[in-house]
Amino acid sequence: MLQSKETPYSKVVRDRIVLVIALFVFCLGAPLFLYTTRVHRADLPVLELDQRVETFADSVKFRIPVYVNSTNEAAIAQIQSATDNYISTTTNLDLLWSLEFRPYTQEIDSYQDYVLSLIEDDESSLDHLTQSFVLSPFSKGITVVLPSSLSISNVSQYVTEVLFNQVFGSEIQMFSALKSNSLSSDMSFPYSTVFNVVFNLFVQDGTPVDWAIAEAVPLMQPIFQALQHYCKFKVSTQIQYYSKLTNEPTFNEEQNANIISQENLPTFVNFGDWNLHNHEVTPSINFVIYFSELNYENIPLLVEGSETNSFSIPQWGGVYIYNPALPPLEGSRIKISESELNKILDIFASQLFELLGVPSEPVSPLMRIDSFQRFSSYKNLKRSLDNLSALVKLSNSLIGISIPEATKTNVVDSMARFDEAVQNLSVADFSHALENSGISLESSDKAFFEKEMLQQAHFPNEHKLAIFLPLLGPICSIVLFGILKRFIAWKKNRSALSQTEKAKKEI
């Protein structure tokens, strides 16, 4: 066997070098590698969230105060028990939604709170029982006229009927649909804190048309004001010419008018050709006034089955087809006047309510908006918890996904707002509850959509090996084999040593 010419000293040096490199790799390299490739996963407040999800039914409660203006003291208690009974027997809203009757005092304003006035009608005789009710078209006043001879239980029964069929009917329906998750297709705009409202005038040909929109827009201001707790509105306007129709309307000789049939309405707005873009970050509600070129020939363009000549497209906006009252004079420039726009904006206001999801009953806009606000807060609170639960579920199921601290911050923020909204609800401060629930929803969305929270942006676990093997493979294999070699040599050496020792002993 060939003897190595290596001096014992160089052997020692090699041993040392291997040792130092191995120590370097394992003590410094490996921790550094793990440290720089780790995926940050913030500690989400899962327990706190679970607690809120569990107690959701107990904590989120709507107690709507109704002030009763009546000479009969006992009536309040009677009506209270009758309505409570009604809610628990005919709806699924037990605990969630109820009315709270309080005695009326002079300071109560029927524009702020519900006021139920019971008026006894002395004139009607027994055989001529007349019960009737009047809902204020403006305020939140409810007036019920009853014959004085009517027994108190009949009074409460009648009042309950009026309240639940006329005043809170649609609200209860929406609440119970949402509670049982049977809201099949919600056509309204998803919640946003800011909406852009865009008024468009689309003219079929190139003939200039004027409109007094600058004067007319302030007319919408009270509507925006009324919805201020729900969201803010940013208004913009534009005129577009040469806006061709996608489908030719059919001419009806009887009416001497062009008719847009019901089945062509969904494709009326020419998304491909009309310039409907805007570069806002917040969602836009579009309102279109369409001006047909046949207006100059006095042939109106009509929407089939619509008296107001308008229709709305869910989650997009509303359309009104403009036909002038009088045929325009030859060569004169058409101007849509402020009074005409007033009428059109009236339609757009109704469409705005519809697009946002404001119930159509009862008449008084204050009552409708009130119902809408309560319903929206409930929806927002529910959704924000849904979002957060989805986030937690996702973070558990996708191990490779990173959870940055910003997500945690937003989750905490969302839950804080949730608590605040619940607090607002407990004191029947519905407008602030709505605002807080909206921010809670927004924060939960932000938490979910956090930019850094992307599995693919980092190395997925399956890819890690493929990416790092070319880099670490050569180093690791050299180090590993070097150590192995030294280990084997050391073992050999030791056994040889022990054998010589044995031999020595034997000698």
Partner 1 sequence: MKLNIPWLLWAIISSVYALEAAEAISPEKQLSTSGHTNNWAVLVSTSRFWFNYRHMANTLSLYRTVKRLGVPDSQIILMMADDIACNPRNAFPGTIFNNMDQAIDLYGDDIEVDYRGYEVTVENFVRLLTDRWDENQPRSKRLLTDENSNVFIYLTGHGGNEFLKFQDAEEIGAYDLADTFQQMHEKKRYKEIFFMIDTCQANTMYLRIYSPNILCVGSSRLDESSYSHHSDMDVGVAVIDRFTYYTLEFLEKIDKNSQTTIDKLFEEYTFENVHSHPGIRTDLYGRDPATVRLTDFFGNVQEVTVRDKNELLLSTVKSTRMQEGQLPVDDHEILRIPISNKGYESTALHQVSKKESQIIMAVLVAFLGLIWAVSKE
Pick the closer one to partner 1 by CB: 340 or 420.
Answer: 420
Pick the closer one to partner 1 by CB: 83 or 387.
Answer: 387
Q: How far is the C-alpha of 309 from the C-alpha of 129, rounded, in Å?
A: 44
Q: How far is the C-alpha of 487 from the C-alpha of 493, rounded, in Å?
A: 10
Closest CB 406 distance from partner 1, rounded Å: 5
Pick the closer one to partner 1 by CB: 146 or 341.
Answer: 341
Q: How far is the C-alpha of 290 from the C-alpha of 181, rounded, in Å?
A: 38
Pick the closer one to partner 1 by CB: 451 or 505.
Answer: 451
| Strand partners for 322 | 291
Closest CB 263 distance from partner 1, rounded Å: 6
**Counting Cβ atoms within 10 Å, is residue 444 exposed (0-12), middle (13-18) or buried (19+)?**
buried
Q: Is 21 helix (H, G, I), strand (E, B) or coil?
A: helix
Pick the closer one to partner 1 by CB: 32 or 134.
Answer: 32
Pick the closer one to partner 1 by CB: 92 or 455.
Answer: 455
| Strand partners for 288 | 200, 319
Pick the closer one to partner 1 by CB: 207 or 308.
Answer: 308
Q: Choose among 213, 244, 242: nearest CA to 335.
A: 213
Q: How far is the C-alpha of 346 from the C-alpha of 257, rounded, in Å?
A: 24
Closest CB 329 distance from partner 1, rounded Å: 28
Q: End-to-end CA distance of the chain: give it in Å, rounded.
A: 26
Pick the closer one to partner 1 by CB: 218 or 331.
Answer: 218
Residue type, 301: L
Closest CB 49 distance from partner 1, rounded Å: 15
At a CB cut-off of 8 Å and minimum separation 6, what does 179 contact? Answer: 92, 93, 96
Q: How far is the C-alpha of 171 from the C-alpha of 369, rounded, in Å?
A: 10
Q: Output the furthest CA–CA distance in the chain (Å, rounded).
A: 139
Closest CB 458 distance from partner 1, rounded Å: 5
Pick the closer one to partner 1 by CB: 76 or 441.
Answer: 441
Closest CB 346 distance from partner 1, rounded Å: 5
C-alpha R_g of the chain: 37
Residue type, 460: P
Closest CB 99 distance from partner 1, rounded Å: 23
Q: Is 263 helix (H, G, I), strand (E, B) or coil?
A: helix
Closest CB 8 distance from partner 1, rounded Å: 13
Q: How far is the C-alpha of 249 from the C-alpha of 260, rounded, in Å?
A: 5
Closest CB 376 distance from partner 1, rounded Å: 15
At a CB cut-off of 8 Å and minimum separation 6, what does 232 contact? Answer: 193, 194, 195
DSSP letters, 256-300, are TEEEE-GGGGGG-S-TTTS------SS-EEEEEEEE-GGGGGT--
Q: How far is the C-alpha of 431 from the C-alpha of 445, rounded, in Å?
A: 21
Pick the closer one to partner 1 by CB: 160 or 414.
Answer: 414
Closest CB 410 distance from partner 1, rounded Å: 8
235: left (phi over 0), alpha (psi -120 to 50) or beta: beta
Pick the closer one to partner 1 by CB: 75 or 441.
Answer: 441
Tokens read off for 386: 């849904």
For helices 365-397 and 338-356, the axis angle rounded to 10 degrees is 40
Pick the closer one to partner 1 by CB: 315 or 499.
Answer: 315
Closest CB 275 distance from partner 1, rounded Å: 10
Closest CB 474 distance from partner 1, rounded Å: 17
- Residue 79 near residue 153 (C-beta atoms within 8 A): no
Kind plus residue range of the DSSP H or E element containing 311: strand 310-313
Tokens read off for 452: 């850094």
